[in-house]
């Protein structure tokens, strides 16, 4: 240890500076380390802010892309709505013009009527004066007043009326004696039936409610592609008019019309309408209608007390729910005939259950007549025979229109109840049945040709659309087929106006990417 007292002042100063330098160096090193830590923390925070900014930028770009896509879709919807509004405004303007023209015609006619009324009143006054003058002249010439002449004329008229009334009463009495037995039979049958059912003729138009007028534009689709696809798939004509909140489905076939109604209601509820969705909805609606057909058959069978019908006949019976005969629902007609037969059989001491079964099945062939040759009575009898029905029931079915001579009491009873149910006032309408038969025959003529897959009679029978297989017929053969079908329709059917035959040949190529 050196002696500090022996050191010089310069040495002490040097040592002091050295110590200060060391202290300053230590302090500077500590502060530099703290600054370095702060710099690293700041750099880390800056890196995190840059990463967050990049993520926000990416999210903003995705959001802008989504907004651009939605704006494009909204612009397309707005354009479609604008076109629909323009069409409606055009229709309204045309209707207003027609109303204005009609109002002018009505005003002109009213003016002419007023002039004619004035002329008629003047003419009537002249005739009254001439009539009074003629009466006064007749009274002067004949020496009788008006009252005396009237009393004499009335006396002659009364005697003549009494004579005519006596002759009419005598004729009525003679006719009553001649027809007493027939009238008594009718009264007995009316008393025995003890049954009253409501019958309504089916319509060829079904209305479908819409949630808004905008939905009509979606049903039509861009350039009408949706409505064309719907009519092609379902075979039903879609009528879109000025009726607010609804569209109409028109088809003579009630099964097809009901299937189209269910499909359209599903599409309207979903809101997404395009050709592929239309085909999917139509297939689902066909399944629904099949289920309803089976349910209707089972309900009718329970109503008439039949529990052992062959399972293959149940869909045939259910299909009659959507069939009409002269405007009368066939399934309701069969249920009514079954009840009538049971009541009359009980009065006559016959087997009520057996007669009820025969009467219920007598029009079975109307569900398959278009698929088999022959009348519906013979077709229904053959169908019942193949499915194990009793021979007497088969005979009652084939004899209910006298195509086969009835040999049993049950067959005669089926004829009676069929006539009672069909002859009630308002039960049937011949014009509707003839119309439906003509439309069904149009489709039968078209489907009878080779290569035809489906055929639909639309536009109230003024348009027949024939779908052909593209693998069996080429374009030239399709054109020849259209001419052949049109020729056969002209030769076989009688119809007003013209019927257009459209043959559609469509090819589709489908591949699946995986």
Going residue by residue through the chain, which has 514 residues, state the pLDDT in tens, using 9 for 90 and above. 455 455 567 777 888 888 888 888 888 888 888 888 888 888 888 888 888 888 888 888 888 888 888 888 888 888 888 888 888 888 888 888 888 888 888 888 878 888 888 887 888 788 778 777 777 766 666 665 667 766 776 776 776 676 566 666 666 666 666 665 555 454 444 434 334 344 444 456 778 888 888 888 888 888 888 888 888 888 888 888 767 788 888 877 777 888 888 888 888 888 888 888 888 888 999 899 888 888 988 998 998 888 888 888 888 888 888 777 666 788 888 898 999 899 888 888 889 899 999 999 988 888 775 556 677 888 888 989 998 899 999 999 998 888 888 889 989 999 888 888 776 655 555 455 666 778 888 889 999 998 898 898 877 677 899 999 888 888 888 888 998 999 999 888 876 567 889 999 877 666 767 5
What does DSSP say about strands 500-505 and 463-468: parallel, antiparallel, or unpaired? parallel
The residue segments making up the domain with residue 478 are 438-505
d(CA 475, CA 485): 15
Q: Is residue 11 in some structural domain?
A: no
Spatial CB neighbours of 310, under 8 Å, sequence gap ≥ 6: 387, 388, 389
Last residue in a domain, options 88, 121, 154: 121
Could you tell me if 310 and 207 lie in one domain? Answer: yes
Could you tell me if 212 and 104 lie in one domain? Answer: no
Could you tell me if 210 and 304 lie in one domain? Answer: yes
User: In the chain, how many domains are there?
Assistant: 3
Could you tell me if 206 and 110 lie in one domain? Answer: no
Q: Is residue 233 in some structural domain?
A: yes
Q: Is residue 472 in some structural domain?
A: yes
Q: Which two tokens stand for residue 457?
A: 């009679």
Q: Which two tokens stand for residue 44?
A: 């880390």
Could you tell me if 206 and 314 lie in one domain? Answer: yes
Q: Is residue 27 in some structural domain?
A: yes
Q: Tell me, what CATH number does 278's domain have? A: 3.30.1370.10
Contact 329, 300 (CB under 8 A): no
* First-last CA distance in the chain: 93
Q: Is residue 404 in some structural domain?
A: no
Q: Is residue 285 in some structural domain?
A: yes
DSSP letters along 300-314, please? HHHHHT-----GGGH
Could you tell me if 208 and 98 lie in one domain? Answer: no
Total residues belonging to the chain: 514
Cα angle: 255, vertex 289, 434; to 5 degrees: 10
Contact 442, 457 (CB under 8 A): yes
pLDDT in tens, 369-388: 555 667 788 888 898 999 88
Q: Is residue 279 in some structural domain?
A: yes
Q: Tell me, what CATH number does 471's domain have? A: 3.30.300.20
Q: Is residue 378 in some structural domain?
A: no
What angle, 0 to 180 degrees and rounded to 10, lies between the N-to-C axes of helices 430-447 and 475-492?
150
Could you tell me if 220 and 314 lie in one domain? Answer: yes
Last residue in a domain, options 94, 121, 148: 121
| Mean predicted lDDT score pLDDT of the chain | 80
What angle, 0 to 180 degrees and rounded to 10, lies between the N-to-C axes of helices 409-423 and 391-399?
40
Last residue in a domain, options 121, 146, 161: 121
């Amino acid at each position: 240890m050196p002696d500090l007292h022996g050191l010089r002042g310069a040495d002490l100063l040097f040592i002091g500076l050295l110590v200060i330098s060391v202290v300053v160096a230590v302090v500077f090193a500590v502060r530099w380390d703290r600054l370095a830590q702060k710099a690293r923390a700041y750099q880390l925070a800056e890196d995190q802010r840059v990463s967050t900014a990049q993520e926000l930028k990416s999210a903003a770009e995705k959001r802008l892309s989504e907004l651009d896509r939605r704006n494009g879709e909204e612009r397309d919807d707005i354009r479609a709505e604008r076109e629909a509004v323009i069409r409606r405004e055009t229709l309204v303007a045309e209707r207003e013009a027609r109303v204005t023209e009609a109002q002018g015609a009505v005003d002109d006619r009213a003016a002419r009527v007023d002039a004619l009324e004035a002329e008629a009143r003047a003419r009537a006054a002249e005739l009254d004066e001439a009539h009074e003058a003629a009466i006064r002249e007749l009274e002067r010439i004949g020496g009788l007043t008006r009252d005396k002449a009237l009393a004499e004329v009335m006396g002659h008229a009364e005697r003549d009326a009494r004579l005519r009334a006596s002759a009419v009463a005598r004729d009525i009495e003679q006719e009553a004696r001649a027809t007493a037995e027939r009238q008594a039979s009718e009264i007995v049958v009316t008393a025995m039936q003890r049954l009253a059912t409501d019958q309504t003729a089916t319509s060829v138009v079904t209305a479908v409610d819409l949630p808004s007028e905008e939905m009509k534009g979606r049903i039509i689709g861009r350039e009408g592609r949706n409505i064309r696809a719907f009519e092609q798939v379902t075979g039903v004509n879609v009528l879109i008019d000025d009726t607010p909140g609804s569209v109409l489905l028109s088809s003579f076939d009630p099964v097809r019309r009901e299937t189209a109604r269910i499909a359209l209601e599903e599409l309207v509820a979903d809101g997404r309408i395009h050709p592929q969705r239309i085909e999917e909805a139509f297939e689902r609606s066909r399944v629904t209608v099949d289920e309803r057909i089976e349910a209707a058959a089972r309900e009718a069978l329970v109503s008439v007390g039949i529990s052992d019908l062959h399972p293959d006949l149940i869909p045939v019976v259910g299909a009659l729910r959507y069939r009409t005969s002269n405007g009368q629902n066939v399934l309701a007609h069969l249920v009514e005939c079954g009840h009538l037969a049971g009541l009359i059989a009980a009065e006559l001491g016959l087997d009520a259950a057996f007669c009820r079964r025969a009467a219920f099945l007598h029009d079975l062939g109307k569900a398959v007549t278009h698929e088999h040759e022959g009348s519906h009575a013979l077709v229904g009898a053959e169908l019942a025979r193949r499915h194990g029905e009793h021979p007497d029931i088969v005979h009652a079915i084939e004899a209910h229109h006298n195509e086969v001579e009835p040999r049993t009491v049950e067959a005669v009873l089926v004829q009676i109840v069929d006539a009672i149910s069909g002859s009630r006032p308002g039960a049937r309408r011949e014009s509707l049945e003839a119309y439906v038969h003509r439309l069904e025959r149009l489709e039968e003529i078209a489907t009878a040709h080779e290569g035809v897959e489906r055929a639909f009679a639309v536009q109230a029978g003024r348009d027949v659309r024939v779908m052909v297989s593209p693998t069996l017929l080429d374009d030239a053969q399709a054109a020849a087929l259209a001419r052949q079908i049109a020729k056969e329709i002209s030769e076989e059917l009688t119809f007003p106006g013209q019927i257009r035959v459209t043959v559609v040949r469509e090819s589709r190529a489908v591949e699946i990417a995986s």
